[in-house]
Structure 1
Amino acid sequence: MHKPGRHFLQIPGPTNVPDDVLRAIDHPTMDHRSPEFGDLGLRALSGMKWVFKTAADVVIYPASGTGAWEAALVNTLSAGDRVLMCETGHFAWLWHRLATRLGLEPEIIPTDWRTGADIAAIAERLRQDDGHSIKAVCVVHNETSTGCTSDIAGVRAAIDSVGHPALLMVDTISSLGSIDYRHDEWGVDVTIGGSQKGLMLPPGLSFNAVSAKARAASDQAALPRSFWSWDEMFAANRTGYFPYTPSTNLLYGLVVAIERMQKEGLDAIFARHQRHAEATRRAVNAWGLEVLCRTPEHYSGALTAVMMPEGHSADAFRKVVHERLNMSLGNGLGRLANRVFRIGHLGDFNDLMLAGTLSGVEMGLKIAGVPHARGGVGAALDYLSGEISATAAKAAA
């Protein structure tokens, strides 16, 4: 059935792709061995270093974030190596499962999926590891299934406080370009990213930012690798090329997306995401519903997961919103299936888009018969307009 108007895609990725990025992807396909492609490749690689805030090497794969997870592990580890992970949500659990399938021995620190990584527990487990059998600590920076972030600088400090040599690997798939992240400053060894969220591209590109320590570990790693091999990528990337056919048209889009980000500035981008997240939480609170993340210091700027009242189906609510209002909201994953819905507010997104999104949620709650108080949209608008007024007053002073 035809639905008039533009579909509101408010899942936490893939996100809306800006028109100029779409037009860039629409360029005629380039010869990936031409001099022009070498220039494009160098621009993309240099731009991604800026996004990661790193001087280290960055690898770009024609793959989803899952591929970049695997690349981080197979390039640095050997069969039977122990890996310490923190189960902050569904995607942390999936990374754990992938590690198991590769022949690693992951240990997982559990949480209730309503908070970020347990830094004290990470430090204690590493303190117990006198023989340094744990070779890597893997943490999801922004858990897309829960709307909880983790303190990566704090994790690095915990590793250093006990003098442990484990590599630090961080998944930034839903935080890169949306939430403040600093690969070099925070001492991360491998950072994993994806194209389809804060970078405002379709799915299809993923990334590893690789420290010198991780490169050294790759010389000793014995897990099989071919497609994911860093060495072949680094060698080809020096001149902007790839060892196999890259996603040429997505690279066109990536360069334009990075140029957009550079014009706005990373600090402004991060502040915009935090504003929208705070406005969304105020709406949720006004509705009398509960934000899944229960620790304010771990609130996500990229998405908000909302708990449904007891006895009400999140999936039934989402279906009403999709069919009646032409808007997609994120579903609950894993142990949160049918218990939460997720509002994505990341990427190419502004105040009016958020107002429309929250209006759709409030209308959907009423149509679906979900118990709630009125006024969530108003609470968000009061906050947003107050922030705008305060910024204007500061600029005029």
Structure 2
Amino acid sequence: MSGHDPAGSDMRRRTGINSSVNMKTGTQLFACPGPTNYPSDVLQALAHEASDLGDPDLVAAFTRSQRRLKQLVGTDEALLMYTSSRHGAWHAALTNLFSPGDCVVFIHSGFHAQAWYESAGELGLEARLLGTAPRTEFDPQGLADLLRTDLGHCIKAVCLVHNEAATGVVQDLSTVRNLLDEYGHPALYLVDAVSSMGCMPINAARFGVDVLPGTGQKGLMLPVGMGFNTVSDKAMQAHRRAGFTKGWSIPGQLSLYCQSRTHASNSVSAMYLHEQQGVRALKSLVRRHFDVVVATGLGELEGCSFRIRHMGDFNASMVFSVIASVEAGMALLGIKFRKGAAQIAVDRFTAEAQAAGIQEEAAGC
């Protein structure tokens, strides 16, 4: 005897769908433009144990990957790889090629071009966003007018997003190169190839691309966290003249962000790095070398602060280890700070433990 299912009958009457059929069986079809889904062999490789940085097999794999990436984008010049996303590759290109106040032109092609332009402005460059996001190829007339009238060669670079993943519009790489050549302008040519690399032909040498930022999480079907830049000889010469700080950190002072001990949180401490650019480097270093993960700042404190939690399943010895690891990391990066925070934490804990009678309790065990 079959059961009665009035709810299911009502569903079939209203929608024509049999509610007893599971519509979510099978494999999910992930169609987002990035990060893309990983092939099975990539997933299997992720399960392997990490290799030592000096492992000959790892060195050989790195060299082989570097060579094949060059072939993929059509260059035989330098290719630098980073543990970063698209933004890290952008940042590396901008800070290694220019000086504060340099004029850099960005061709507006959509969301990512806008973000690249904004990041340049935040670094102190004179960033110009040219045109509006088109639904086809950008109008070259505006760039032609700029290059023709820039007799003093104040424009140091022209930046173009090859394939705008936000709009599905691809730009012709020859357009900018032809204009630079037509007016004999020495500006560098930067091309974001994040969502075109591995998906459509790119020939950096043919189009005179000086720096080509890319990442692995889209057409290359790799996990997020690998960024790279191709660098021409011309760009390398510009790097040697660039005025941005060539290093991870600037001498500064570390302090608690909260300036009142009575208002200091019992669950998290935010550390402020005055005039520092090394927060991301510090976070990366302590994670890589000490297996300690700290959080970066949020909002307006992003990039100039990091946070340490002391709540949840977290005991005193874990706090001591985190503080000591952060101190070691700052010392390795050359960040100036008053040493001894770990010892101060131990001393304070000891004093509070004694006041709470823990010493007598231990003696009675």
- Give the TM-score, by structure 2 length: 0.61
1:141 and 1:175 in contact (8 A); partners too? yes
Matches within 5 A, 1:114-153: 114-153=135-174
Q: Which residue of structure 2 aligns with residue 77 of structure 1?
A: 98
Residue 225 of structure 2 corresponds to residue 191 of structure 1: no
Q: Distance in 2 between matches of 1:149 and 1:135?
A: 24
| 1:214 aligns with one of 235, 248, 254 | 235
Q: Does the residue aligned with 1:17 lie in a helix, a strand or coil?
A: coil
Q: Which residue of structure 2 aligns with residue 41 of structure 1?
A: 62
CA shift at 1:118, angstroms?
2.6
Q: Does the residue aligned with 1:8 lie in a helix, a strand or coil?
A: coil
1:167 and 1:214 in contact (8 A); partners too? yes
Matches within 5 A, 1:286-297: none
Q: Does the residue aligned with 1:22 lie in a helix, a strand or coil?
A: helix
Q: Distance in 1 between matches of 2:123 and 2:87?
A: 13
Give the letter aligned to residue 25 of structure 2. P
Q: Distance in 2 between matches of 1:77 and 1:87?
A: 20
Q: Distance in 2 between matches of 1:157 and 1:32?
A: 43
Residue 39 of structure 2 corresponds to residue 18 of structure 1: yes
Q: Does the residue aligned with 1:95 lie in a helix, a strand or coil?
A: helix
Q: Which residue of structure 2 aligns with residue 60 of structure 1?
A: 81
Q: Which residue of structure 2 aligns with residue 51 of structure 1?
A: 72
Please identify which structure carries the higher helix content: 1
Q: Which residue of structure 2 aligns with residue 5 of structure 1?
A: 26
CA shift at 1:2, angstroms?
10
Q: Does the residue aligned with 1:75 lie in a helix, a strand or coil?
A: helix
2:131 and 2:142 in contact (8 A); partners too? no
Poorly superposed stretches of 4+, deviation over 4 Å: 244-247
Q: Distance in 2 between matches of 1:181 and 1:245?
A: 37
| 1:99 aligns with one of 97, 120, 123 | 120
CA shift at 1:245, angstroms?
10
Q: Which residue of structure 2 aligns with residue 110 of structure 1?
A: 131
2:163 and 2:169 in contact (8 A); partners too? yes
Q: Distance in 2 between matches of 1:246 and 1:63?
A: 14
CA shift at 1:115, angstroms?
2.3
Give the letter aligned to residue 206 of structure 2. E
Count of aligned pairs: 233
Q: Distance in 2 between matches of 1:118 and 1:55?
A: 31
Q: Distance in 1 between matches of 2:127 and 2:200?
A: 27
Q: Distance in 2 between matches of 1:2 and 1:33?
A: 49
Q: Does the residue aligned with 1:137 lie in a helix, a strand or coil?
A: strand
CA shift at 1:129, angstroms?
0.6
Q: Distance in 1 between matches of 2:287 and 2:90?
A: 18
Q: Distance in 2 between matches of 1:203 and 1:221?
A: 29
1:120 and 1:158 in contact (8 A); partners too? no
CA shift at 1:20, angstroms?
1.1
Q: Does the residue aligned with 1:213 lie in a helix, a strand or coil?
A: helix
CA shift at 1:39, angstroms?
1.2
Matches within 5 A, 1:1-397: 3-227=24-248
Question: Over the residues paired in the alignment, what is the CA RMSD in angstroms?
Answer: 2.2
Percent identity (aligned): 41
Give the letter aligned to residue 173 of structure 1. V
Determine which structure has greater relative contact order: mean sequence separation of CA pairs < 8 Å that are 6+ residues apart, divided by chain length: 1
Q: Unaligned regions of 5+ residues in structure 2, if any?
A: 1-21, 250-284, 289-365
Give the letter aligned to residue 234 of structure 2. K
Q: Distance in 1 between matches of 2:113 and 2:52?
A: 38
Q: Does the residue aligned with 1:175 lie in a helix, a strand or coil?
A: coil
Q: Distance in 2 between matches of 1:129 and 1:74?
A: 23
Q: Distance in 2 between matches of 1:246 and 1:184?
A: 37
Q: Does the residue aligned with 2:30 lie in a helix, a strand or coil?
A: strand
- For the pair shown, the structure with the greater C-alpha radius of gyration is 2
Cα deviation 1:262-294 (Å, max 9, x = unaligned): xxxxxxxxxxxxxxxxxxxxxxxxxxxxxxxxx
CA shift at 1:246, angstroms?
11
Give the letter aligned to residue 85 of structure 1. F
Q: Does the residue aligned with 2:97 lie in a helix, a strand or coil?
A: coil
